[in-house]
Amino acid sequence: MLFFSVLSLGLLALDYYTDYLDSVRSVLSIVVTPIVVTADYPARTAILAQETFASQADMRAEIRLLKQDQLLLRAKVIKMAALDAENDRLRDLLGSAAKLQDNVLVAELIGVDPDPERNEVILDKGSESGVFVGQAVLDAQGLMGQVIATSLYTSRALLISDESHSVPVQVNRSSLRLIAQGTGITGQLELIHVPDTADIQEGDLLVSSGLGNRFPVAYPVGVVSKVEHDPGEPFAVVTAIPSASLEKSRHVLLVFTETRMLRDASSPRKAPGR
């Protein structure tokens, strides 16, 4: 021990007062470096692993937040698309109202009859707004049906596709007068008692004829989709597609004809309580 102590002191003094040990120190540093690096490797590996796991956890949390934000943004986009579509429908509806010569009232569809055999809808306007039984109901594309019952704030409308509903129509091209009857299928009408020799063909536009004083004149009802002639039969089989979007329209027009308005204005009003 004494020998190594004296050797250490001698080397310290030699290194302090001379430069003889600089080359030796360089050689020893090269030899010792791998040992130092190897000794430090476990600590560095632990720190790197901790940082890696921390980074992965942060990335997972960030990805989770981004997915939530994406979901919210997607919901907002869908909502905006729905609002844009509704605005387009309202603009079309208001444009149709501006083209009509009759006074109209805008109503909103708030319910559908759950009975599959009845094509009826419920509207948010009733007798308090002047709605009456028999009033024509339209959307931006054409005739939808008529009001069959009213309450104070709501009304019930029967669609033209119902089996019990019929509309006097006229072929716009040939002025042929016919009856369009519902088939119970929302997208299909049937023209009844069409003579086999009648001037009608696929693509013809059907408009309301105004006969019967129930529906106003010249409102689109449907487009002829099929004409079948059966040899030996007196009548042809003719079907049509309704012009109105019976399953899609949410806002509709209730038409007040001049005849009805004059009738209401001339009719005596009952005294309250009677």
Tokens representing 170 are: 């006229």
Q: pTM for the full model?
A: 0.61
- Give how many domains the chain has, as a whole number: 2
Q: Domain holding 215: CATH number?
A: 2.40.10.340
Considering 28-42, 73-87, 102-116, 226-240, the range whose residues carry the highest mean pLDDT is 226-240
83 and 116 part of one domain? no
181 and 212 part of one domain? yes
3-class DSSP state of 128: helix
Residue 272 lies in a domain: no
240 and 127 part of one domain? yes
3-state SS of the chain: helix, strand, coil percent to 5? 40, 30, 35
Q: What is the average pLDDT value for the chain, to the nearest integer?
A: 79
Q: In terms of Cα–Cα distance, which of 248, 2, 13, 263 is closest to 134? A: 263
128 and 241 part of one domain? yes
pLDDT surpassing 70 at residue 231: yes
Q: How far is CA 209 from the centre of its chain?
A: 34
Residue ending a domain, choose from 81, 99, 117:
99
Residue ending a domain, choose from 47, 80, 99:
99
pLDDT band at 80 (very low <50, low <70, confident <90, very high): low
198 and 235 part of one domain? yes
Domain range enclosing 133 = 103-266
Positive or negative, the Cα torsion across 87, 93, 97, 103? negative
Higher pLDDT, 253 or 157: 157
pLDDT surpassing 90 at residue 180: yes
pLDDT surpassing 80 at residue 95: no
58 and 76 part of one domain? yes
